[in-house]
Amino acid sequence: MQDTSFAIHPGNEKANKSTQYYDIGNLIDYEINQLFQFRCERGWVTLSFYAEDIARITMKPLSKPTMESSFALMKEPQEIETVCEEHTQYLLIKTAQLHIKISKIPFRIAAYDHQGRVLVEEGKRGMAFTQKQEIICFKEMDAADHFYGFGEKTSFLDKRGEKMTMWNTDVFAPHNPETDSLYESIPYFMTIRNGFAHGIFFDNTYRTVFDLKSSQESYSFWAEGGELDYYILAGPTPKDVIAQYTTLTGRMDIPPKWALGYHQSRYSYKDEQEVRELVSLFKKKEIPVDAIYLDIHYMDGYRVFTFDYDRFPQAHSLIQELRAEGINIIPIVDPGVKQDAEYPIYQEGVRENHFCKSIEGNIYLGEVWPGISAFPDFSNTDVRRWWGQKQKFYTDMGIEGIWNDMNEPAVFNETKTMDLSVIHGNDGNPKSHRELHNVYGLLMGEATYTGLKEQLSGKRPFVLTRAGYAGVQRYAAVWTGDNRSFWEHMQMAMPMCMNLGISGVPFTGPDVGGFAHDTTGELLTRWTQLGAFTPYFRNHSNLGTVAQEPWAFGEEVGMITKKYIELRYKWLPHLYTLFREAHQTGLPVMRPLVLEYPNDPHTFNLSDQFLIGENVLIAPITRPSTYHRVVYLPEGIWYDYWTDTKYEGGTHIMVSAPLDTLPIFVKEGAMISEAPVKLSTKVPDEHVIIHVYPSQQVTEYVLYEDDGSSFSYQNKQYLERKITCHHHENQVEINIEDIHAGYSPSWKTMIFQIHGVDAMKTIYVNGQEKTDAYLEDKHILTFELNQ
Ligand code: GLC
């Protein structure tokens, strides 16, 4: 009856009982040793520092906090120089970047930056708890506050006015603005207020709720259990907050280059012949592709670590042949292990005590694809190791990428997951599933990534995951789960991926074309245009839906989808450079405009356009029969990527976008590196093109290259080539300097294309005049440099 009007029957209205919260009360006394410990009337609070600009606060009702960290953390507290001033009403504890004020009666915390600007403060309400040991923290909300992050959430970019729950959930029902919990839980957010940013990471693995809706004056974060344990990240820029957050939770390794290519999937390419036919169509149509996915049908009765030999009699040679053609096979691996007394993985799991159990010791069994199944207890190191070693089944066949799905963990029952009373061993510190539910996917990702890495003898693994918690970026790329072939879902993918990026996860993307429901040629075209610029680019669709491979909708759609897949390959050197930046700094590849323009109100909730790096703006068409759209260009001069038409920013413009056009704008002062189109990332580049969009100032770009496949970049085997361009009056000066020359790329030629040049100029490269340059139409000055 919940989906008829009966759901809103007046008799259903429940009495609105407000929860009784107990404030921690006044400060009684405090101690300062390694950390600051405050005893209050109804609880203990600690303060410690992880850097000058990162403070950790914990609170436990009625007893001392344990200070145990969740699985998210990569950093230990640091000995930071602090000054503590005691005043009658309050204490002031200062680092060089953060000032923490502790008011005594009642106990309240406020954090300021070193210039005295308020970051967070508590007012009438501060930290509190309920009889049921739920915990909550209230903070004042400023009228100028805008909120970002929160991992994977539906709706628009700015989360002010939302109430969001973190509880990893398998949601096949259409995702819509009121869908709350999805597959990932990242209890972290960034506030931007008057151009400055700070962040809060609430490291609690229980179900948590962030309420930015119930009041205009304050917001709160709440957890169903555990300790109140959160970090204040001082900013002051949005980029600083991401750097601080990823200092705590880690950054991704540089992915293998092939993971950045175009990926084709379907639930399911059911047998070897289908896969071969698929590959031959890609070859025949000369469409680039780097990976093909095997969904659950490849397995024997959906048993993980098996192949169905009726369907895939030559699995091993198929994988080898495809590798030789530059295509990787990525099989799906779910956590559920079929209950089957004759199935070695189940036998081993039972014998070696690897499965989740009730406190009484019975293995928890729940239904997923293989039928009744057991679930590995990834909270134990030995289980993660076991699972990691099992990946050998795949790596021995030549597989280098694994797709982890259903790892919320999803179970086909009312609650959609395992019993909350299941006990996870947690290396001898047992905890209930109610507490560890949200980290199940993260730990499975860790087991998979670590196992693959061990077995691939120096090659970079690729893991794709559906579920995760803060820190998931260390192990896996994240796709946004079971979307539908709805225009609205394509639109929603943008703020979702942008907020994931702010939440430290740079490698994300939706199922291009839409998973459930039937796509159309037009939707697939527009979605492929968007997908070419989302960090992760995979076309995937559900069982029983119409075919949605690039050629499935006739010639025009086929031509355009191919053009954009090729465009992805062209942009790879630039994208790869940005992935390297994400590895170094945590900054996302796909960015909301507010990250670069936090003072510009037009960007605060701009959800249907995004930036690639700092200075490339993508504005997809997200409606049917629509060939124009409004694009917001922030301050500066912007070039239309296709026509080189220049626009003055700080305004909205109307652009034309026929079906074959994705509006792309490049900011003056930018440089972009492009490669020739190729059918797989495995094909070496013969040259690289550097597009320069010169400005009045000196323009700079650092191109990054390495072998794209091994970890040798961690031993300094990479190239960082700094290119500067100074365009003034009648001349263009280019300077090229290898800041680090630990790798020699396949290409030996650099083709320079200097845009927006209206007449021939004298060109100097590292002080030498270059005489063979020519001026193309569209005012592009072109020349080649050979090494
Ligand atoms: C889940 C996944 C989907 C996959 C399907 C079958 O719904 O989200 O991507 O195709 O399971 O494995």
pLDDT digits (tens, 9 = 90+) for 521-562: 999 999 999 999 999 999 999 999 999 999 999 999 999 999
- Give the span between the Cα atoms of 366 and 343, in whole angstroms: 17
Sign of the C-alpha dihedral computed for residues 740, 746, 748 and 749 taken in this order = negative
DSSP-assigned letter for residue 320: H
**Ligand 1 environment, Cβ below 6 A:** 267, 295-296, 332, 405, 466, 481-482, 515, 540
Q: Which ligand 1 atom sits nearest the alpha carbon of residue 172?
A: 7
CA of 405 to the centre of ligand 1 (A): 7
The confidence score (pLDDT) of residue 777 equals 79
Query: 778 falls in which pLDDT band (50, 70, 90)?
Result: confident
In this prediction, what percent of the chain has a pLDDT beyond 90? 94
C-beta separation of 471 from 438 below 8 A: no
DSSP-based three-state secondary structure for 545: coil
HSE at residue 479, side-chain half, CA atoms within 13 A, is 25
CA of 217 to the centre of ligand 1 (A): 42
* 118-121, strands of its sheet edge to edge: 83-86, 90-94, 98-103, 108-113, 118-121
CATH superfamily of 22-237: glycosyl hydrolase (family 31) (2.60.40.1760)
CA of 512 to the centre of ligand 1 (A): 14
- Give the span between the Cα atoms of 204 and 408, in whole angstroms: 16
Query: 217 falls in which pLDDT band (50, 70, 90)?
Result: very high
C-beta separation of 440 from 409 below 8 A: yes
- Give the span between the Cα atoms of 503 and 242, in whole angstroms: 7
Residues 6+ apart with CB under 8 A from 450: 384, 388, 475
Query: 17 falls in which pLDDT band (50, 70, 90)?
Result: low
Token reading at 112: 């300021």
Question: Hey, which of 175, 332, 464 would you mutate to test ligand 1's pocket, going by the most ligand atoms within 8 Å of its Cβ?
Answer: 332
Is the pLDDT at 16 greater than 80? The verdict is: no
The confidence score (pLDDT) of residue 11 equals 82
Token reading at 455: 């077995």
Altogether, the residues listed in the chain come to a count of 787
In this prediction, what percent of the chain has a pLDDT beyond 70? 99
Average pLDDT in the 611-627 region?
98
CA of 607 to the centre of ligand 1 (A): 27
Residue identified by tokens 């069982």 is 543
CA of 618 to the centre of ligand 1 (A): 29
Least confident of 28-32, 41-45, 66-70: 66-70
Residues 6+ apart with CB under 8 A from 204: 70, 135, 187, 223, 226, 227, 228, 229, 230
Token reading at 737: 């300097």
CA of 418 to the centre of ligand 1 (A): 18
- Give the span between the Cα atoms of 508 and 344, in whole angstroms: 34
- Give the span between the Cα atoms of 471 and 575, in whole angstroms: 22
Closest C-alpha to 755, from 694, 698, 701:
694
Token reading at 499: 């907020």
The confidence score (pLDDT) of residue 787 equals 77
CATH code: domain 684-786 is 2.60.40.1180
- Give the span between the Cα atoms of 460 and 463, in whole angstroms: 10
E-strand spans in 160-301? Answer: 163-166, 184-185, 188-193, 196-202, 208-211, 218-223, 228-233, 263-264, 291-294
Catalytic annotation, residues: 405, 408, 482
Q: Where are the domains of the chain?
A: 22-237, 593-666, 684-786
Query: 15 falls in which pLDDT band (50, 70, 90)?
Result: low
C-beta separation of 434 from 369 below 8 A: no
Q: Which ligand 1 atom sits nearest the alpha carbon of residue 511?
A: 9
HSE at residue 681, side-chain half, CA atoms within 13 A, is 24
CA of 431 to the centre of ligand 1 (A): 29
The confidence score (pLDDT) of residue 667 equals 98
- Give the span between the Cα atoms of 744 and 718, in whole angstroms: 8
CA of 170 to the centre of ligand 1 (A): 10
Query: 373 falls in which pLDDT band (50, 70, 90)?
Result: very high
Nearest CA to ligand 1 atom 5: 267
What's the whole-number average pLDDT of the chain?
96
CA of 448 to the centre of ligand 1 (A): 18
Residue identified by tokens 């072109």 is 782
pLDDT tens for 452-503 read 999 999 999 999 999 999 999 999 999 999 999 999 999 999 999 999 999 9
Does 2.140.10.10 match the CATH number of domain 593-666? no
C-beta separation of 522 from 485 below 8 A: no
C-beta separation of 369 from 442 below 8 A: no
Give φ, ψ of 601 to 5 degrees.
Answer: -55, -25
H-type alpha helices, 337-410 = 344-351, 381-390, 392-395
Query: 7 falls in which pLDDT band (50, 70, 90)?
Result: confident
Average pLDDT in the 112-124 region?
96
Nearest CA to ligand 1 atom 10: 267
Average pLDDT in the 110-122 region?
97
pLDDT tens for 145-162 read 999 999 999 999 999 999
DSSP-based three-state secondary structure for 515: coil
Token reading at 437: 């539910």
Question: Hey, which of 515, 517, 536 would you mutate to test ligand 1's pocket, going by the most ligand atoms within 8 Å of its Cβ?
Answer: 515
Nearest CA to ligand 1 atom 4: 267
Per-residue three-class SS string for 121-143: ECCCCCEEECCCCCEEEEEECCC
> Exposed, middle or buried by CB within 10 Å (0-12, 13-18, 19+), for 606?
buried
The CA-based dihedral angle spanning residues 235, 240, 246, 247, taken in that order and rounded to the nearest 10 degrees: -80
Instruction: Please give the single-letter amino acid code of residue 687.
Output: H
- Give the span between the Cα atoms of 159 and 209, in whole angstroms: 13
Do the domains 22-237 and 684-786 sit in the same CATH topology, yes or no?
yes
Average pLDDT in the 576-589 region?
98
- Ramachandran category for residue 750: left, alpha or beta (phi over 0 → left; psi -120 to 50 → alpha): beta
Instruction: Please give the single-letter amino acid code of residue 473.
Output: Q
Is the pLDDT at 729 greater than 90? The verdict is: no
Residues 6+ apart with CB under 8 A from 393: 305, 306
Closest C-alpha to 165, from 127, 207, 212:
207
Is the pLDDT at 28 greater than 70? The verdict is: yes
Q: Which ligand 1 atom sits nearest the alpha carbon of residue 481?
A: 8
C-beta separation of 493 from 538 below 8 A: no
C-beta separation of 265 from 274 below 8 A: no
C-beta separation of 550 from 281 below 8 A: no
C-beta separation of 272 from 318 below 8 A: yes
CA of 401 to the centre of ligand 1 (A): 17
DSSP-based three-state secondary structure for 731: strand
Q: Taking the chain, what is the end-to-end CA distance rounded to the nearest angstrom?
A: 72
CA of 267 to the centre of ligand 1 (A): 7
Token reading at 275: 């896969």
